[in-house]
Chain A
Amino acid sequence: MLQGIAMPPVLGKRALDGNIETFLLMALRQGPSYGYEIVQEINRRSPELLKLGEGTVYPVLHRMEERGLLATEWRTGETKRRRKYYRLTQAGKKALAENLQQWEGLQAVMSAFQNTNQQPKGA
């Protein structure tokens, strides 16, 4: 975490744009899951900072499916309820690796600037 900067109460839309896909890819890294469970998982991991509307998640999942990042399959669980399971495809795994790489890079640049700004000029 960057020094001297307080966490925001909730991540804003600008910060989330482009990153929701990465959250979903990460949530599915452990294995196939369905919408309700994915939402629960995301909320469980970041109950305060990340407030994703439940209705927000499904359209993103659908678009990722259309782009071939996720594959889907209907399964009937113990409760006899049919659920649509999402799992990562090879393209999804590749996209996740790329997104995380980008994120690492961004974080490195942020930290570099933060450290530079904390040093007095001419030092």
Chain B
Amino acid sequence: MNRELIDLYIGRVLRLAELPKDREAEVREEISGHLTETAEKLMKTGLYAKDATWKAIEQYGHPRVVGSRLRRPWQWVDIRQHGTARGFIAIGPKAVGVFAFGGFAAGIFAVGGTSIALFGVGGFTIGLLLAWGGLAIGGTAFGGLAAGIAAGGGVTFGVVAYGGSCYALLSPITSSSAAIHSYYTLATAPEWLKSLLPLLEVPRMMVRQMWIIMPTFLALTLVPSIAMTVLSRHQSKPSTENPENWLLE
């Protein structure tokens, strides 16, 4: 059989499984034994070593599927350099958790290049309650381009909003706004609309506390993003160099 191919396959499976080191060695030996035995049996039917190995691997399953099944279903803390981290605290290129940090992050509190959460922070973020980022969409949204029920930032769209350029049903703040397109004024706005104005306190507070918030934002997004990018690039190198197809997808 083709040992190199088997090692390549198992390496791919284990990368996705993210098992502890001692467990990993055991699983490696077990899968290797299984594939070797299958390949040897196939070789007895007349297949060449490489073809037999390839067929044994095909029978075993796609590395992505096998790897994800081997992965522990839920962890308190899951930190990984590839694949999807899942846990109470999840950190990875993709992260799903109560506190999720990653290139793509989803959870209750999510910080990432793209984030979807109740409270989301990131380059592009959708936050049901609070979204804060370059492009932010949410109940309360704050960012370069922000859209939401209450929105604040550079360019904003909202039911109530304020910002450099603002498009809203009601925009109460005039002094800091370059262009305001407010359908109502405070005098003409219906009561239900005025009752939403306190929501704007959140983005306003964020502007007031910017000297604290900006470094926090950078620490939470920029530093992990760069680290993840560097690590991911390092990890993904072999997959572009090897000609085998679905083995290394």
Contact = CB atoms under 8 A, between A and B. Distances in A.
The answer to whether A binds B is yes
Interface of A: 34-36, 39, 53-56, 58-59, 62, 81-84
A36 B33 contact: yes
A56 B61 contact: yes
Interface residues of B, number: 19
Given A81-B33, A83-B33, A55 B61 contact: yes
Given A53-B60, A54-B60, A36 B37 contact: yes
Nearest to B36: A81
27 contacts: A35-B30, A36-B33, A36-B38, A39-B34, A53-B60, A53-B61, A54-B34, A54-B38, A54-B59, A54-B60, A54-B61, A55-B60, A55-B61, A55-B62, A55-B65, A55-B66, A55-B69, A56-B61, A56-B69, A58-B66, A58-B70, A59-B70, A62-B27, A82-B33, A83-B33, A84-B29, A84-B33
B33 A58 contact: no
B241 interface: no
A121 to B, nearest CB: 47
Interface of B: 13, 26-27, 29-31, 33-34, 36-38, 59-62, 65-66, 69-70
Contacts of A82: 29, 33
Contact of A36 (B27, B34, B69): B34
A71 B69 CA distance: 20
A59 B69 contact: yes
A43 to B, nearest CB: 10
Contacts of B30: 35, 58, 84
Contacts of A62: 27, 70
Contacts of B61: 53-56
Nearest to B67: A55
A73 to B, nearest CB: 12
A58 B61 CA distance: 11
A53 B59 CA distance: 7
A58 B31 contact: yes
Contacts of B60: 53-55
Contacts of B65: 53, 55
